Structure 1
Amino acid sequence: MRRTLLVFLLLSLVSLMADVVYEGGRSVSGAFLEFLKTPQVMVGLIGLGEFVGTLLRFLSGLLATYIGSSAALWALTVTGYAVTCLSIPLLAFATSWGQAVLLYTVDRVGKGLRTPARDVILSEVAEPLGVGKGFGVHELLDQLGAFAGPLIVVAGLSLGGYPLAFSLLFVPGVFAIALVVTSAFLYPRVRSVVKRSVRAGMRELGSRFWLYTASISFLGLGFIHWSVASYLYKTWGLMSDVEVGLAYTAAMLVDAVVAVPLGVLYDKHSLKTLLVLPALSTLFAFLLSTRLRVLALASSLAWGIVMSGEESIVRAGLVGVVDRGLRPLAYGLLSVFFGLSWMVGGFVALVLAASSPSLVAVFSLFSNTVSAVLLLRLVRPESRG
């Protein structure tokens, strides 16, 4: 058990270090691309990287299920982290916008490769601590990295410009790679792997998994992406550029603070805990749609709680609805359905906002109500049991 908890701690530290790298690089992505004189239309290629990353999460889950070995899970995890932790620091040597866009896209490829496999391993090594609490602690450390990364980059920029700022990220990147390789050596045999055909795996996932995935997909549909929300903050004159940045910082701090309490509540109340997420997602959309400046910061705090839940208890919840051997495929499928729903929901919110702000709240209310109803269908058998 001690070794299992040690691996859990090491993987959490890996996420902390990797987020220092990723969030540090992302915090100045727009400014860096402008510095390299990137054509406006080409900036959108970073969004293509997000889509590719989402698709790769699904393919990564399929591959891990088909191969059915611990070595495959660790290979995907280690490779994914290595890709991210090297691609972002290599921006220090980028001299054209094409190179920069390519490296930002490669980073998303790394995230797509590692996420389902990493979540399978994490869900297993977190069991002695409690799956909900484990994912909560992991999210807390993850957000500490997300907070520290931009600060390191800002310090580097002030001292030596972009080359120094990105070069500094090599240090946490190398630490992350070393820690994930160490984890693989300490925990070489993952129990949550059973070799099976993908078709058989799809059949065996069962109705509870598909019901859970549908619920989380509707949650993603009604949960407005920060890029969309921040655009509306600016368009509606609710916040300045600086205030948008401060609101995001506040949301990330809330994300970190509530992660562990949400995990503890999940371990006590299981899937019932997830019902708070559709409610707060709807509240966020309502506060945003009022177009009242005084409510703008409050809306960002609600966003931070939902984001924390999506990164912690939503991932923990999957453990209770699928068999251990199906987790690689299940995490891959859940990631791609949620990612696509979140992307579509953001587009719909922008279209509705152009017509009437209140329609954004109505759309969010509808999507989140469906999410809650589907979740309640999963909770009721739990209560009877």
Structure 2
Amino acid sequence: MKKYFGVSRNVFFLGIVSMLNDFSSEMIQAIMPIFLTATLGAPVFVVGLIEGIADALASVLKIVFGWVSDKWKIRKKFAVAGYILSVSTRPFLTLVSSFWHIFFLRSIDRIGKGMRDAPRDALISESTDFDMVGKSFGFHRMMDTFGGMMGPLLVFLLLPVFFGSYQLIFLVAFGIGALAVITFVFVEEPVHKEEKIPVVAPRMNFSFLRSNRRFSLFLFSIFIFGLGTLPIALLLLRAPSIGIDVKYVPIFYLIYHIAFLTAAFPLGKIADSFGRRRIIVLGFFAALVSYISLIFVETFFGLVISFILFGIYSAATDGVERAIAARWVDAHSLAMGQGLLNAAVGISALLAGGIGGLLWTYVSPEATFVYAATLSLVGSLLFIFLLNVRFKDAKEAV
């Protein structure tokens, strides 16, 4: 199998696809809050409502399309359809005149995400040797993050050239997103060998989780930890809350992305030899220390350290969690396993954002980070429990 930068052909080009798509989507997300509030006159709470409902929709659909992908053994077609659906909404942003139009388009965009994520992750897993799974997911997440960094940077450079026209930004984002879809011509659908004994795809119910207790406990621990995983927007608000000028807020966002980008690939590679669960524990510890530091931070430098730690947390967990999910379910449930993991992360993040926002508004910013640190500690301890428990249905070597 030919390698590109140490990963398989499919993994490499799927990384290019995600880089281009995130480049496109982050261009839009960088200006969407301002576009909603300043241009369309939406109340601030509507911004959170649109994102919350849209992300919850995507989280549920990841389970559905993960199951369907496993049942029909189709990966690439679902992934392509999902990307096409998301990208196709972007030129219509130039025509909107109400925040309800944004809600409709954003929901379609997230339906596309729900359709593509689990089949794409299963495609990565099926295109990778067993001992290279962590490296492959780490590479994919690194490319994804690089695109996410470049999107806001390009917006920053283009807005003065376009005389502040958001509509032209939307069109450029659509063009870059179209390139992501075109790149799929280089991705191949894995060949599935015919089974001597017919295998029945898992039913769309909780029997899948009951039959794999270790994976169920893994999902539960990720969900509990996720209840304390605050959205990056709340972390960024910590800067002005301690008296740092708002013009420096993008710098902290950039620091987070640089830390993530720098750590994601090597941590994924190390996870394949050192142990994926150990790397996740390392990431959980980094998040815990980050939240604790955010409770007491009072200086610019202290906030820089907090965001570096949070970037390391994201790098140590995102791709590695997906690698574990790929190895703790059988080959006929890969996409459903990825869908359940994505749903656990997405739904818990939605709840964390809501609870964190309420605590920030009605108690204090410090209370928000105390909550995050507490749930992170509980989730970490629950996950560490996995290291010392053996189940007959578990797959080892992770």
Post-superposition Cα deviations, 1:170-206, rounded to whole Å, max 9, x if no partner, equal 33212211122441xx325357996342248615641
Aligned counterpart in structure 2 of residue 366 of structure 1, from 360, 374, 382 = 374
1:360 Cα deviation after fit: 4.0
Does 2:178 match 1:164?
no
Alignment partners' CA distance in 2, 1:358 and 1:372: 21
CA contact (8 A) 1:258 1:305 kept: yes
Alignment partners' CA distance in 2, 1:142 and 1:83: 18
Alignment partners' CA distance in 1, 2:155 and 2:131: 34
Partner SS, residue 12 of structure 1: helix
Alignment partners' CA distance in 1, 2:264 and 2:102: 33
Post-superposition Cα deviations, 1:227-257, rounded to whole Å, max 9, x if no partner, equal 22223443x2343332222101110111111
Alignment partners' CA distance in 2, 1:13 and 1:292: 39
Aligned to 2:285: 279
Residues 50-129 of structure 1 aligned to structure 2 (within 5 Å): 50-65=55-70, 68-71=71-74, 73-127=75-129
Does 2:152 match 1:145?
no
Alignment partners' CA distance in 1, 2:383 and 2:342: 17
**Which of 347-356 and 316-325 deviates more?**
347-356
Alignment partners' CA distance in 1, 2:46 and 2:99: 9
Task: Look up the equivalent residue of 1:231 and give its one-letter code.
Answer: L
Alignment partners' CA distance in 2, 1:33 and 1:222: 28
Partner SS, residue 237 of structure 2: helix
Aligned to 1:2: 2
Post-superposition Cα deviations, 1:127-181, rounded to whole Å, max 9, x if no partner, equal 2771111111111111111111123333332222222212112332122111224
Q: 1:157 to 1:69 in 2, by over 3 A?
A: same
Partner SS, residue 251 of structure 1: helix
1:11 Cα deviation after fit: 0.7
Alignment partners' CA distance in 1, 2:211 and 2:18: 28
1:275 Cα deviation after fit: 0.6
RMSD: 2.6
Task: Look up the equivalent residue of 2:169 and give its one-letter code.
Answer: A
**Which of 40-49 and 105-114 deviates more?**
40-49
CA contact (8 A) 1:238 1:296 kept: no
Structure 2 unaligned regions, length at least 5: 391-395
Aligned to 2:217: 211
1:2 Cα deviation after fit: 2.5
CA contact (8 A) 2:127 2:190 kept: no
Task: Look up the equivalent residue of 2:110 and give its one-letter code.
Answer: R
CA contact (8 A) 1:222 1:364 kept: yes
Does 2:386 match 1:378?
yes
Residues 235-384 of structure 1 aligned to structure 2 (within 5 Å): 236-270=241-275, 271-294=277-300, 295-353=302-360, 354-355=362-363, 359-380=367-388
- TM-score between both structures, scaled by the size of structure 1: 0.89
Alignment partners' CA distance in 2, 1:80 and 1:316: 22
Alignment partners' CA distance in 2, 1:127 and 1:381: 26
Residue-pair matches, total: 378
Alignment partners' CA distance in 1, 2:323 and 2:130: 14
Aligned to 2:30: 27
Alignment partners' CA distance in 1, 2:284 and 2:370: 13
Aligned to 1:48: 53
CA contact (8 A) 2:66 2:335 kept: yes
Alignment partners' CA distance in 2, 1:164 and 1:350: 32
Aligned counterpart in structure 2 of residue 230 of structure 1, from 236, 245, 259 = 236
- TM-score between both structures, scaled by the size of structure 2: 0.86
Q: 1:36 to 1:356 in 2, by over 3 A?
A: closer
Q: 1:341 to 1:203 in 2, by over 3 A?
A: closer
Alignment partners' CA distance in 2, 1:230 and 1:136: 25
**Which has the larger helix fraction?**
1
CA contact (8 A) 1:153 1:166 kept: no
Q: 1:204 to 1:348 in 2, by over 3 A?
A: closer
Aligned to 2:189: 187
Partner SS, residue 198 of structure 1: coil
Q: 1:23 to 1:356 in 2, by over 3 A?
A: closer
Task: Look up the equivalent residue of 1:364 and give its one-letter code.
Answer: A
